Structure formats: structure tokens, C-alpha cells
Amino acid sequence: MQEKLQSIRERALERLNQAADTGVLEQIRVAVLGKKGELTALLRSMGQLAPEERPAMGQKVNELRALIEEKLAERERALKEREKEARLQKEAIDVTLPVQPRTSGAMHPCSIVLDQLLTIFTGMGFEVVEGPEVEYDHYNFELLNLPKNHPARDAQDTFYIDDNIVLRTHTSPVQARIMTTRKPPIRIVCPGRTYRVDEADATHSPVFQQIEGLVIDEGISMSDLKGTLDAFASRLYGEGITTRFRPSYFPFTEPSAEVDLTCANCKGAGCRVCKGTGWIEVLGAGMVNPKVLEMCGIDPGKYTGFAFGIGIERITMLKYGVPNMKYLWENDVRFLKQFR
Ligand code: DAH
């Protein structure tokens, strides 16, 4: 029995030393100390010993059990530590590796400017309204005092879908749509794409964008128009920028004006951009023609109004010093990236 004990001890300790992971330790524990383990079996067979030998033998078996338990615990601690090290090694992140560069897009300059215009006008109490790009001749021309054969139609070379339907040549038809469906007071701006049969060049494109403004109420006068556009000019380009009205003609306004803004480049002193004049033409405006009010079902005896139309591309080119309109359409990322 003494020998058996010795051999259990030697084998157990050797296996323990060689154990490569905590799983093997568990196997050893079961094989030696478990219910059916070697040491347990030895303890059971002590009945074969003479009664006086039993206490001493029992003590030896218990000592060995304690020793093996202690070694198991010790070895387990060591193995766990090693396993943790290995895991940390494996999960280590190299924070010095370069990251994947993230590319982000940029707003198109026309969208940046349009956003600014909408902020300025909504800040003054205007509501934003949109209309269709494929439009009835009725709204694009007729209700705006441009009957068929009116000479001013020639100024807007029109894409016709059929006799009665066109690609809108300006955003003014949205005015007509709103006037025929709402009662004053009306205070709207209408941004959107517009189309004309134009050869693309440095300042023209067959597709372009406008923003239309319309105010109708009792007692609206030309000074309201001037005040509104002056506020718009200084909010867009900064203090000191004002407007200059020059007499002009639009069938839908009377009187009508071409409106210039102080050249933002030279603050009015005169430079290459404004060709020495100190002014830049940017929009058309006027008092809504009473004929238009009447055609749209608004009483011209009671109400008056003003309207204006601004070219978005033109404002954008002036604001950023873009020399050719084609840059706004080419979608060359080297150009677009500059507006990030
Ligand atoms: N619709 C005109 C155009 O495209 C611009 C314009 C001028 C709009 C005067 C207006 C206005 O509302 O009052 O050329």
C-alpha cells in the first residue's frame, strides 16, 4: 500500500508538471481525487490493513491528497496567468497602424447659396413654396400677362412639350399658381430649376435655377420692395451692400426694375468684376401688374404686391468668384472639394 501511495504521488506530480492547460488539470483532479479516483480507491481499500496500521496510513493518504490539491491550485494559477497573457497578446491592437481615410462629400456651391437665401427670406417671414418644372403655358405665360404672340415671349426661348405644356422658363409661374389658390396676405419664395433653349457658355446654361419672391397685401409699395431687397443684399454679402433700381420692363410687373447690388468685390469702388461701375446686376423685380392680380382673381383695387426673381447661379458665381458657369455643372471634384 505504501508503494502504491508512492507511485500515485509520483505519477500525479509528474502529470501536474506537464499539464499544458487547465483542462488537463481537471482530468488529473478527477483521476486522482475524484469519487472513482486512485487515491479514493486506496482509501477504501484500507480495510485490508491491520487496525493499528490504519491511522498512520490514513494520515499519509490525507497528506498526499492535501499536497496534490495544493499543487493543482498552484499549477492552475500559473496556467490561468499564462492563458490570460496569451489572450492579451492575441487581442492586442496596434494603435500605430494608419487608419482608413474617411472621405466626406461637400455641398454644391449653388446649394450653399440657396440655403443662405432661404435662411434670409424665411427669417423675414417668407414661406417656401415649390411648383412643377413641367408647366402649363397658362401659368408660365398667360397668367403672367404674356399672351400668345406677345413679343416678350421671344426673350424666353422655350422648350415646348406640346402646344400647352412647357418646361418652365422661370419660377414666376409659381406666383400665378399661388395667387389663383390663396387669398392675401401672401409672402412666398419659390426656388427651383428653370429651362431655356440656350447655348451653354460662360454665363448661360439651358438648365439653371431661380428663386422667385412674391408679397401681396393691402398697402404694399415699391419702398417695401426696396427695403426687402436691401436687407437681402446686406445679409448675403455684408454691411454696406445695397441695391440700385434701374427702370426696366417685365409684362408681369408695372413698374419694373433691373436691380443691381453694390459690387461685393470692391464695395462699390469699381473693379474688374463690376467693369468699373461699382454695381452688379443680379435680379429683376417690380410691382405686380394689376392685370396679373386681376387674372389670378385678386382684387387690384384692394391689394398691391411686389415680386422679384433671382438667378441662383449668378449669385453663386459672384459670391465665390467663379469665372465660368460650366464649373457649376461639370461636377469636377477638384472644383467641388473647395466648398467643404
Ligand atoms: N421671371 C423673370 C426672368 O426669369 C425674372 C423676374 C423679373 C421675376 C421680375 C419677377 C419679377 O418676379 O418681378 O427673367
Q: Which atom of ligand 1 is nearest to the CA of 288?
A: 13
- Among 139, 172, 186, 304, name the best residue to mutate to test ligand 1's pocket (greatest count of ligand atoms within 8 A of Cβ): 172
Q: Is beta strand 127-128 parallel, antiparallel or unpaired with respect to 186-195?
A: parallel
The model scores a pTM over 0.85: no
Pairwise CA distance, residues 179 & 171, whole Å: 14
What does the pLDDT read at residue 5? 82
What confidence score (pLDDT) does residue 131 get? 97
Q: Is 170 in the pocket of ligand 1 (CB under 6 A)?
A: yes
How high is the pLDDT of residue 145?
96
Tens digits of per-residue pLDDT, 80-93? 898 899 999 999 98
- Ligand 1: residue whose CA is nearest its atom 10: 308
Mean pLDDT of all residues belonging to the chain: 92
Distance from the CA of 313 to the center of ligand 1, in angstroms?
Answer: 15
Residue 63 counted as an annotated binding residue = no
How does pLDDT run across 3-49, given as a tens digit for each residue?
Answer: 888 888 888 888 888 888 888 888 888 988 888 888 888 888 888 88
CA of 259 to the centre of ligand 1 (A): 11
Strands (E), the chain: 127-128, 134-136, 165-167, 186-195, 207-217, 243-250, 253-262, 279-288, 304-311
Report the phi/psi class of residue 297: left, alpha or beta, with left for phi > 0 and alpha for psi in -120 to 50. left
pLDDT of residue 128: 98
Nearest residue (by CA) to ligand 1, atom 7, is 284
Q: Which three cell numbers stand for residue 321?
A: 468668384
Output the pLDDT for position 219. Answer: 97
Please compute the mean of the pLDDT values over residues 149-171 and round it to a whole number: 89
Mean pLDDT of 220-240: 95
Angstrom distance (rounded) from CA 196 to CA 215: 26
Ligand 1 touching residue 305 (CB < 6 A): no
3-state secondary structure 81-118: HHHHHHHHHHHCCCCCCCCCCCCCCCCCHHHHHHHHHH
Tens-digit pLDDT profile for residues 110-158: 999 999 999 999 999 999 999 999 999 999 999 999 998 888 787 678 9
Q: What is the CA radius of gyration of the chain?
A: 45
Quick one: which atom of ligand 1 is closest to the CA of 213?
12
Instruction: Indicate the top mutation candidate among 252, 281, 288, 314 to test ligand 1's pocket, ranked by most ligand atoms within 8 A of CB.
Output: 252
The pLDDT of residue 41 is 85
How many Cα atoms occupy the beta-carbon half-sphere of 162 within 13 Å?
1
> What separation in angstroms does the CA of 271 have from each of 181, 264, 279?
46, 10, 10
* 55 pLDDT above the threshold of 90: no
